Structures are given as structure tokens and as C-alpha cells.
Structure 1
Amino acid sequence: MIRFARKQDAQEIAELILIILKDMHLPFVTEFGEEAAKQAIMASYEDPTYRFGYDRGLVEEINGEIAGAVFGYPAKEEPIIDEPLTRYLSSIGLSVDVKLFIDPEATAGEWYLDSIAVNEAFRGQGIGSRLLKAVDQLATRDGETVIGLNVAKENPAAKRLYERQGFTVVGDRIISGHPYDHMRREVQQ
């Protein structure tokens, strides 16, 4: 069952998000370590304006377990999405200069699909495809008609999944020193 993320999903969501952050080789995870990064994600998740805040996500729940999750936001909100993380870091005495992401990811006029992750135990069951179809709910709720995302050039399997869902490459991006294809599609009603 696909549903909106809830506050009580924090731990399972943080574990899924950590998979993505580790795959991206982000300095944030390396600097603080996996457990501290997970705690920061969990603490910030409670703020609906956070990049990975509960109000920005959908989950697929199977037998009471989070099988996958997807998060995103309107591009116009990109300047504020990491403020909850900054506040959390400050509250525990860490530098507020530390950033999770340092490069812009979204393009004006789109709802940006920031992250999609499937629990390893549930892979190969079509969960990613179902979540990609469901993001239209979030984009529509947020008043957007175009969905954008970035996919690592070194991940052709993910790119094929996005292409099957109607996304096409519209440009290139460098994020945290790694090359990405920027892809978009219209919201499907």
C-alpha cells in the first residue's frame, strides 16, 4: 500500500535515505559517520520542510514494514529544504557550515524527485515503479506539472527505470563532483 509518510516512520526512512547518501559518497556521511548521519536525518525528518521531511514523502508499506520511499519538493523551495538539518546540527554543537548537498539539483518550474529508495529485502517487486507513478500525487498537491530528477551516469539500470516511466534526459549536472543526467516528465493524471 502506498501512503503518505508519517512521523513514526523516521527510523526506517533514515535507514533508506542513508543507502542513497552512501551511494553518492557524500562528505557529510564520511565526516560524521553513518550512525550520526542517520540520527541527523531522523531528527530533521520531523520537520515537514526538510528535504526528507515526512510531509515531502510517500512510502510503500508491506506487512507493516517500509518497503520503499520517495521524497521530493518544488524547485522553488530548494533554498530552504536543508534548514532543519542546519538547526539540528547547531543544537548538538556542530558547525552549521556543514552541508548535506552543496550543489543545486532542481530546475525552476519543476517538482524535484530528490530521492527514491527500496529496502533491499523488497527489491525486484516493482516497488520503485509504483513509487515513481505515485509521485504525481505530491507534485500535483504542490501545484507543479513537471517532475525532474537526476540520475548518476554510472547507473544505467536506474536510468532505464526512469525512461520506462516516461522521463527523458534534458541536461547534465555535476553533484558532489559526480556526473548526472537531469531527466523530466510531465505529471500524469
Structure 2
Amino acid sequence: MIRQAKKTDAPKIAPLLLIIWKDMELPILEMESEEAITNALIEAIQTETYRYSYRHLHVYEKDGDIAGVLAGYPGKLEPKIDDVWDDIAKKHGITFKEPIFEDNETFAGEWYLDLIVASEKYRGYGVGTALLNKLTEIAAKDGEKVVGLNCDKGNPNAKRLYERIGFHVTGEVVLNGHKYDHMQK
């Protein structure tokens, strides 16, 4: 079952988000403990406005487990999407001062898929595809018709999946030193 995340899902969602942060090789991971970052993410998920607020998350629930999660929001929110992070991070002893996400990720006029991840236990069972197939419905609830995402150029399997469900390349972006294809549907 795919549903909107709840605040109470935060402890199960935070470790999944951390998988993506590790894949992105974010500098904060070299300077702060995984425990502090996870605890800060748990609190941030429970806010109303953060990039990974429960309001911006949808989960694939299976047998009481969070099998996968997607995070996304209208691109127009990007300028303020991380404003609450600094105060939350400080409360958890995080001293990393740089913005975690420095680069603009969204294109104008789109609902932006920030991340999608399946729990290792559920990989290969269609969790990601099921979540992706809900994107246009989720975006429509936020008043958007176009869905955008960034696909790591080093991940051709993901690109093929996105193309199979109707995405096409509309540009290129560099995020944290990595090249990505910007794709839209």
C-alpha cells in the first residue's frame, strides 16, 4: 500500500534517506556521526516544511514495514525547503555549517522527485516502480502537471526505468560534483 507518510514513520524513514545521502557522498557524512545525522533527520521529518518533511514523503508499506519511500515537492518550494535544518542539526550536536544541498535541483514549473529508495529487504520486488507510478497523481495533488527528477549519469539502470515509465532527458545538472540528467514526465 502506498500512502502519505506520518510523523510516526520518521524512525523507519530516516535510515532509508541516509542510504541516498551516502550514495550522493554528501560531505556532512565525513564530519558528523551517522547517529547524530539520523536523529536530526528523524526530527526534521516530523516538521511541516523541511525537504523531507512527512508532508513531502510517500511510503510503500508492506506487512507493517516501510518497504520504500519517495520524497518530492513543488519546485517553487526549493528556495526555503531546507530552512529548518540548521536549528534541528544544532540541537543534535551537528556542527557542519555548509548547506547540505548547495545546488538548485529543480526546473521551473515542476513537481520535483527529490529521492526514491527501497529498503534492501524489498529491492527487486517492484517497490520503486510502484512508487514511481504514483508520481503524477501525487504531483497533481500539489497542483503540478510536470514531474522532474535528476538521474545520476553513472546509473544507466535507473535511467532506463525512468524512460520506461515516460520520463525523458530535458537537461543536465551538477549536484555535489556529480553529473545528472534532468528528466521530466
Q: TM-score w.r.t. structure 2 length?
A: 0.95
Partner of 1:176: 176
Distance 1:60 1:76 in 2: 26
Q: Deviations over 1:95-117 (max 9, x none)?
A: 58332211110011000000000
Structure 2: state its 5+ residue gaps: none
Runs of 4+ in 1 over 6 A off after TM superposition: none
Shift of 1:33: 2.6
Partner of 1:107: 107
Distance 2:94 2:25 in 1: 21
Counterpart mapping for 1:28-177 below 5 A: 28-92=28-92, 94-95=94-95, 97-177=97-177
Contact kept, 8 Å, 2:40 with 2:92, in 1: the verdict is no
Paired letter, 1:10: A
Shift of 1:140: 0.9
Q: Percent sequence identity over matched residues?
A: 47
Q: TM-score w.r.t. structure 1 length?
A: 0.93
* SS state at 2:84 partner: helix
Distance 2:46 2:13 in 1: 11
Q: Deviations over 1:79-109 (max 9, x none)?
A: 1111121221233465583322111100110
Partner of 1:23: 23
Shift of 1:36: 1.5
* SS state at 1:42 partner: helix
Paired letter, 1:88: I
Contact kept, 8 Å, 1:171 with 1:181, in 2: the verdict is yes
Distance 2:84 2:32 in 1: 17
Structure 1: state its 5+ residue gaps: none
* SS state at 1:124 partner: coil
Distance 1:90 1:123 in 2: 34
Paired letter, 2:173: R
Shift of 1:50: 0.8
Aligned-pair Cα RMSD in Å: 1.3
Q: Deviations over 1:141-171 (max 9, x none)?
A: 1111100000100011111111111000111
Paired letter, 1:145: K
Distance 1:46 1:128 in 2: 23
